[in-house]
Structure formats: structure tokens, C-alpha cells
Amino acid sequence: MLSFIALEGQKVETFYNYKWEECEPKEARFYALSNKTDSGYVREVYFVNERQLYNRGLFSDPWFEFKKGYFATFYANGAFESFGKYRGNKKDGLWLSGHYNGMLSDSTVYSNGNPVGVSLSWYPNGFLRDSLVFEADGSGIHVSWFDNGSLSAVGRYSEDSKQHGRWKYYHRNGHLSSIELYNHSVLLEKQYYDENGMALNDTTSRDREAFYEGGPSAYNRKVSNYLVYPPGQYIENSEVASVVVTLTVDEEGHVVEPVIRVPFEDAFNKAVLRAVRNSPEWQPAIEHNRRVRSEYTHSFRFYNTKEALEEDNENDAE
């Protein structure tokens, strides 16, 4: 960061574009206001177009690297994303997280940056996702579920939260997908099972991230059939505008639960959400020999002119 606060009471403004790079005010998507106080350096970041708070926190230093006190982060629609306290730049006490739709996503207690006691997480539909119980040394038990309520995984951690002993993983239909034996997070042996619960001779890992056949450019071309420039709108101060969205690719490859991470004007945000809901299917992620849901961040672009589109395509090709 180029600027920092030198004197108590002095406020510093910083503007960021959709890539979180410092920029001129006319290009900004985020606006940060920083102020030195007796307690430290208070920093508030706002969504420019929505004119509402993105996050607020207290730092010990003018470079905003060492956090202390309470921090709060919000989605572009105003729903809270996370809230909790830092002590010595580490999470401390109860931390809560929420989904874009307002449902609670996580509840965890931390001590010196490490989770202790019972930690729970939920899917956006309210179904329980994970249940963890940690001891002070990091050892504990982990049970997870799919969003239909079926068991997903169960296992134990040794000290320092390392996988230990026998872990079982399941397909979404309830059948075993893998039994894996660990020694302090070192995999010793494994047995895979197909979706009918039959043991497989081949235990070669097929783990992968979710992907669209042909890559991001092919996905852009496909979604562009549904991405309509909002009528009566015009992008000011630039020929191009981007809306950044987090997509969830479920176990069947469907794109679900899009979340606007970097918004633009409301009409453009809604156009992106409509296009995403018509997304073609992806190849889902695979972990432990079963399909799992995963998240993917994607930027959707709008152009004032055909020339701007062609220039942007040329830059992407370089």
C-alpha cells in the first residue's frame, strides 16, 4: 500500500478496483477510509456503488498487517459474512460466519488462532455441513455431511490437527467411497469403492478441481449467450466493467448459489445472476474418490462498444 497514516486524527482515503489494486476514484469499486486513534488504526472499507460497509477492523500498524479487536465483514447485499475478535493478530473467542442468503454458515471458538471445543458449519439451505470437536492440543473428531443430509466423512485428528487413524468417506448416495489410513496426516493405505459400494482394485487418485470443458474462455462464450447488456444503461468513466461472482459447482456439475463478490451497478449485477442461473454443466470436483461441491470465482465483463470487447479479447490472448 502506497499511503499510510502518520498523525493521530488524520484520515486517509484509498480507492481499489475490482482486482483490489489501488486506482483512481473514477475506477473504484471499493473505498477505504483509515484513521489513527488512541487504540490503533481503524480501517473501514465500503462498496462504492452500494455505498455500504464491506468490512471494518482495528490494526496495530499503519500498514494494516496486524489485526486486533473486533472485525466485521459484509456481503454486497448487506448480509454479514463474518464477525469476531483478534488478539495478537490471531483469532480469539467466538467467530461467526454467514451465507449470502442470511443463513448462518459457521460457528467456531478460537484460542490463540486455533479452534477449540465444538465447531459447526452449515449449508445455505440450513443443513449441517461439519461438526468438529477439538481439544487444546489440536486433536479431535470431524464428521461431515452432504447438503441432502447423507454422511460425507468421519475421522479423527491427532495433536496439531493432523489426520490420524482410519478415515471414512462416502458418496452422496450413502455408500462408502474410500477408507484411508493416516499417521499424523501421512497417508499409509487406502481402499476405494464405487457408487454401489463395491471395492475397486484401482486406487489411483482421481482428485481434481471442478472445471468446464474447454476452460474459462469456452465458459465465457457459452454464458455470453445469456449475458445481456442492461437496456438503458451505460458504463461511465470506462469502456469495460466487471462483476466478480463466486460460483458453487455441486456434485452433479450444476452451477448453484452464485454470490456477488465485487458488484457493479444493480442492473449489471442482476444481468450476471440471470446468466449464471442458465450456466451449462461443469465437471464436478473429485476428492477421496467421490464427487464433491466446490467454489470457483469468475469475472463477467460488460462492454460499451464492440471495439472495447475486441481489444479486451486481444489482451486476454496475449
Write out the three cell numbers for 239: 469502456
Write out the three cell numbers for 279: 450456466
Q: Residue 257 and residue 247: Cα distance in Å, rounded?
A: 6
Q: Residue 303 and residue 238: Cα distance in Å, rounded?
A: 9
Q: Render pLDDT for 140-196 as a digit per residue (tens, 0 to 9).
A: 999 999 999 999 999 999 999 999 999 999 999 999 999 999 999 999 999 999 999
- Selection from 108, 143, 109, 103 nearest residue 127 by Cα: 103
pLDDT of residue 3: 46
pLDDT of residue 8: 52
11-192, CATH topology level: Outer Surface Protein A; domain 3 (3.90.930)
Q: Residue 11 and residue 94: Cα distance in Å, rounded?
A: 31
Residue 230 has pLDDT above 80, yes or no: yes
Domains of the chain, by residue range, sit at 11-192, 215-317
pLDDT of residue 217: 85
Residue 318 has pLDDT above 50, yes or no: no
Residue 67 has pLDDT above 70, yes or no: yes
Residue 200 has pLDDT above 50, yes or no: yes
Name the DSSP class of 257: E
Phi and psi of 252, rounded to 5°? Answer: -95, 0
Q: CB-side exposure of 216: number of CA atoms within 13 Å? A: 10
Element (H, E) at 285: strand 285-287
The CATH class that applies to domain 215-317 reads: alpha beta
In contact, 251 and 291? CB cutoff 8 Å: yes
**Kindly report the CA angle at 209 between 218 and 104, in degrees rounded to 5?**
105
pTM of this prediction exceeds 0.85: yes
- Selection from 295, 255, 296, 287 nearest residue 172 by Cα: 287
